[in-house]
Chain A
Amino acid sequence: MRFFSNWTWEQIKREKIFIFSLLLGTVLVAFVVITLGNMFYQQAEDLPGLIAVAVDPVVLRSIWISISMALAATLVAFIFGVPLAYFLARKNFWGKSIIEGIVDVPLMIPHIVAGIALYGVFMRYGVIGQPLRSLGIVVTDAYAGIVIAMLFMSLPYLVDTAREGFKDVDPRLENVARSLGASHWRTFREISFPLAFPSILSGAILTWGRAISEFSAVLVLAYHPISAPILIYEKFTSFGLRMSRPISVLLISICLVIFIVLRLPRWGKR
């Protein structure tokens, strides 16, 4: 709160641009707070509805599917994305910006389009779906389908954030570690990765959050097993707000708690 204390007219004049920024910024913050707050507020008037949902095994299962499949998608994004991010941060080559662009494409295209594209590839006779099927793996309407749809939509967050994190690690730190006898692999483990870790974690949290919220692509590729957003949509179209809102509130509450816990260590710092 130091920003607000001991204000004099002179200081206010000096801080003009920040006050201006704060006023405009408040609009965005209020936008988020009012939208979600309103939903929580309305739900508070129907506590029995919320409780009924909170003990409904179908609802809990759908939320569990969303959270755990999103975690799986994040894990896959991590395993393949961190090496890619390190490579992109350290190496310059022709076509690098093309690769970086390709990684960001999922951010640009409508999710339903991505879903249809994924379906084309992973359906029974798709280029990847068919060979997978001969191995006994079915993607459509399966857990794997949920993970794949989520992964496609959320992978840019992890790769981009991790790449920036690695870029911020001075290559000279790696050089010094090498000169002290550490192999490249060990240097990565002990220097580059730990120093980029806060960024990688941020990216992973974003990826995970984005994966949980994915609806359209999951809808096309794997309507079943039913995940939370799809269940909410189903309830909304069949029974309206009163049936869909409590599930939404429950899902958001659980996500917010996890999100806050994960970010907690960093909120202490300025």
Chain B
Amino acid sequence: MIVVKDVYKDWKEFKLQEINLEVKQGEYFVILGPTGAGKTLLLETIAGFYIPDRGKIWLEGREVTCVPAEKRGIGFIYQDYSLFPHMTVEQNILFGLRVQKAGAAEANRKRVLELMDWLNIAQLAHRYPGTLSGGEQQKVAIGRAIAIEPAILLLDEPLSALDQRTQDYMRDELKRVKDDFGITMMHVTHDQTEAMLLADRIAVMIRGRIVQVGTPQEIFNKPLNEELADFVGIENILSGVIRSNEQGIAEISVDSSTVVYAVSEFRDGAVKAFVRPENIILSTHMDQSSARNVMKGQIERIHEVGPLVRVRLDNGLVALITRQARDELSLQLGGEVFATFKATAVHVVRA
């Protein structure tokens, strides 16, 4: 369990500002933020490499704000794994045990062997880190960190330096670490997919502040403001005024000819309406569908992003559709389409 309360730290060129977090026992908690948001510094402060100017930190119910790193019982994994280059794989993993339980040499060795088996790296035992691939180094770093049986594992962009396939594999390994050892995980990343796939909960950090904490569902669909919406890839941000609200469905007038219906409690006033591009369906004729919102537009731009296709309309809407859908609808530049989305797919915040 990690509790961070009002933590403030000034590095002159950068500040951590009034950080408040609560990570539950056994939770996979991801701190998501753009590069330079201060995520690593926050993680290092929790690990005890820095002492905050103000505020307090508790780990497993114990206040550790000024406790040195070696007495916090945390595991730490850096983006580049930071393996000790002058030690073999086995010696790397053994390091923490050797330092903490010098007397139990035999038990320590046994534990290292078990861990290497568990990570499938027994064959690498006598190699030096410089000769290992990124994925292998990552496994050694995991082994080294969990050998000391930490209650908490802090991970700083652990997947960023890996190729796509290894990333997929290592994500599962990280989940396995959490599930098999019941370790509380705090993982820092700028990668939204990674956050979505791994996190029980996500905290979004921008410019040294935590701006929103929630489940992946909440973070990606219900951002608190326009900046967050933009950050999590909501490309459709409409400004409007609420005209009426009937049974929880707000009618938002976006411009003189456009009205958007959204599920919202707000009854009046200026608002922003967010719609994720993947929640917009394109069709070539007016369909009889349950979706409340239909907007007509001309296709301005089509481009492929991985397995999906991003379609931009002249009314400013952006939709993400599958390649198959594009082919079935035989979408062309300049073609006229109807963009439909449900009232539940619209997230409304005060402007």
A binding-site residues for B, Cβ under 8 Å: 170, 172-173, 175-184, 186, 190-191, 194-195
Contact = CB atoms under 8 A, between A and B. Distances in A.
Contact of A178 (B49, B78, B154): B49
B160 interface: no
A173 B82 contact: yes
A180 B72 contact: no
Contacts of B74: 179
Nearest to A182: B99
A190 B80 CA distance: 20
Given A176-B144, A180-B100, A183-B68, 13 more contacts: A170-B82, A172-B78, A172-B82, A175-B44, A175-B47, A175-B78, A178-B48, A178-B70, A179-B154, A180-B95, A181-B96, A182-B99, A195-B85
Contacts of B31: none
User: How would you classify the secondary structure of chain A's contact residues: helix, strand, loop or mixed?
Assistant: helix
B154 to A, nearest CB: 8
Interface centre among A175, A181, A184 (most CB of B within 10 A): A181
B84 A191 contact: yes
Contacts, number: 64
A176 B144 CA distance: 10
Given A175-B49, A177-B95, A183 B70 contact: yes
Given A180-B96, A180-B148, A173 B84 contact: yes
Using C-beta atoms within 8 Å of the partner chain, give the interface range for chain B.
Answer: 20 to 34
B320 to A, nearest CB: 38
Contacts of A183: 68, 70
Contacts of B72: 179
B86 interface: yes
A186 B47 CA distance: 18
User: How would you classify the secondary structure of chain B's contact residues: helix, strand, loop or mixed?
Assistant: mixed
B349 interface: no
25 contacts: A170-B82, A172-B80, A175-B44, A175-B47, A175-B76, A177-B84, A177-B95, A178-B70, A179-B69, A179-B76, A179-B145, A180-B70, A180-B75, A180-B95, A180-B96, A180-B99, A180-B100, A180-B144, A180-B148, A181-B71, A181-B96, A181-B148, A182-B99, A184-B68, A195-B85
A215 to B, nearest CB: 39
Contacts of A179: 47-48, 69-70, 72, 74-76, 145, 154
Contacts of B70: 178-184
Contacts of A178: 48-49, 68-70
Nearest to B154: A179
B124 to A, nearest CB: 19
A48 B78 CA distance: 66
A191 to B, nearest CB: 6
A57 to B, nearest CB: 45
Contacts of A170: 82
Contacts of B85: 195
Contact of A175 (B69, B95, B144): B69
Contacts of A194: 86
A201 to B, nearest CB: 14
Nearest to B95: A180
Interface string B187-229: 0000000000000000000000000000000000000000000
